[in-house]
Amino acid sequence: MDISIINQPETLIRRVSLYLMIEVAVKVIDRTKFDEKTRRLLSQELTNMERLHHPHIIRAYEAHEVLQRWHLVMEYAPKGELNSYLKRSGRLDEKTSKNYSSQILSALDHLHNNGVVHRDLKAENVFIVSNMYVKLGDFGFSKCVAPDAALTTFCGSPPYAAPELFVADSYTGPAVDLWALGVLLFYMVTGSLPFKADSLHKIKRLILSGDYRIPAYVSNDCQTLISGLLATNVERRYTVSQAKSSKWFSDIDWQHLMKHKDPTPDEIDDASARYLLKKWWDVDSYELDKALSEGPKNKLTGIYRILRSKGLQYKKDPTLPDQKYKNKRGRVKRNGSCSTGKNKPRPASVSHKELTTVDLRDQKSIKNGENSTRTCNIL
């Protein structure tokens, strides 16, 4: 994978796969700034992405280290973040909001059923694949938990943070995710966040009191769903099941939503991907199966996964994307590693930069941009 390095502690860049000429997203983190907490979070992120397979969750392709940088190569969403779209174009109509929020809710249902909580659901972490489809991404604060487990790491983005994150001794992850979905749904249908203020203290006060106003133009059924998701009392807050059963979602076929064809339009099947890998680089089934068993840390696994999701463009014309690499088997070694070659790296395109985690009770660290949706530790 040909990757240009950006000197940021944590950065998300858009790159083109050297081998397949396909755009991917790459999270780049400076390993020299690693501490034990960072290592744990990165391990959790990769582990949780590996156990989740859903049409509305961003796919992880590959994870590796290059030049003191840790890279997580993921599916690229060509239309960018939902937050950027909302800031640029304003609120969505209810039909589009229902479409997007039902997909996110289905993704959350899949997460929770697999023992994973996201803990950082916000518009910046929802990615638009096409006009009809969105995917949930950025699992940096996700955690694998037992059902109803009490969590004590108080993290999240202040405008999306549930009340219990500010005052309780512990919380349950699914309830926090559903509160954030309520904030996100409000944002989609109104173009504005429900809890906005010029300081963390004021945001906290608004959230704890449930002080928000839904505009009259929002339908009654949508208002009911938002109110259920934004119930300050955890016991009264909607569960996934209650949200899916709401009147606003009455026309959604949830089974079809989960089972329908993946919204990645260029997906090919396993046999087609194996055929192309054999044709291009003489990768046999034994070699590929061994790579896949090693997971995303094997570069051949990454190439296979990218090809599975984006390989339709090569099915009718199965020629190697970059002809100058054809028949050069050394480019993909039998241990799954890849030689770097002498080609100069292509410039990377910066699409998003992550801000470092800060202590929200440290006034010096939050004196600017208190209304920011950056992810923070609440305590």
- What is the full DSSP assignment across 261-287? PPS-TT---HHHHHHHHHHHH---HHH
pLDDT digits (tens, 9 = 90+) for 95-137: 999 999 999 999 999 999 999 999 999 999 999 998 889 999 9
pLDDT digits (tens, 9 = 90+) for 126-173: 999 988 899 999 998 899 998 788 998 888 889 999 999 998 888 999
pLDDT digits (tens, 9 = 90+) for 43-52: 888 888 888 8
| Of 335 and 10, the one with more pLDDT | 10
Q: 167 is written with which tokens?
A: 């005052």
Determine the Cα angle at 117 with ends 253 and 68, to 5°.
Answer: 120
**Picking from 24-33, 137-146, 256-265, 342-351, which range would have the lowest pLDDT averaged per residue?**
342-351
- Split at pLDDT 50, 70, 90, the class of 317 is low
> What local confidence, expressed as pLDDT, does residue 349 receive?
38
Short-list 192, 67, 70, CA closest to 123 = 192
> What local confidence, expressed as pLDDT, does residue 325 receive?
43
- The mean pLDDT value of the chain amounts to 80
CB-based contact 134:100 (threshold 8 Å): yes
State which H helix or E strand residue 28 sits in: strand 23-30
DSSP 322: S
Looking at domain 82-261+357-377, which of 2.170.190.11, 1.10.510.10, 3.30.365.10, 1.10.600.10 is its CATH number? 1.10.510.10
- Split at pLDDT 50, 70, 90, the class of 266 is low
* Bridge partners, 143 (sequence order): 117
Q: Mind telling me the catalytic residues? A: 120
> What local confidence, expressed as pLDDT, does residue 361 receive?
37
- Split at pLDDT 50, 70, 90, the class of 15 is low
> What local confidence, expressed as pLDDT, does residue 240 receive?
97
pLDDT of 22 higher than 90 = no
CA dist., res. 177 & res. 179, Å (int): 6
First-last CA distance in the chain: 39
CA dist., res. 325 & res. 109, Å (int): 43
pLDDT digits (tens, 9 = 90+) for 185-222: 999 999 999 999 888 889 999 999 999 999 999 999 99
CB-based contact 117:176 (threshold 8 Å): yes
pLDDT digits (tens, 9 = 90+) for 217-244: 999 999 999 999 999 999 999 999 999 9
CB-count burial class (<10 Å; 0-12, 13-18, 19+) for 175: buried
pLDDT of 331 higher than 80 = no
Residue ranges of domains in the chain? 10-75+264-347, 82-261+357-377
> What local confidence, expressed as pLDDT, does residue 326 receive?
43
pTM of the predicted protein model: 0.80
pLDDT of 320 higher than 90 = no
SS3 334: coil
pLDDT digits (tens, 9 = 90+) for 341-378: 444 333 333 343 333 333 343 444 444 444 455 555 54
Kindly indicate whether the domain formed by 10-75+264-347 is annotated with CATH number 3.40.50.300.
no
> What local confidence, expressed as pLDDT, does residue 100 receive?
97
CB-based contact 243:254 (threshold 8 Å): no
Count, residues in the chain = 379
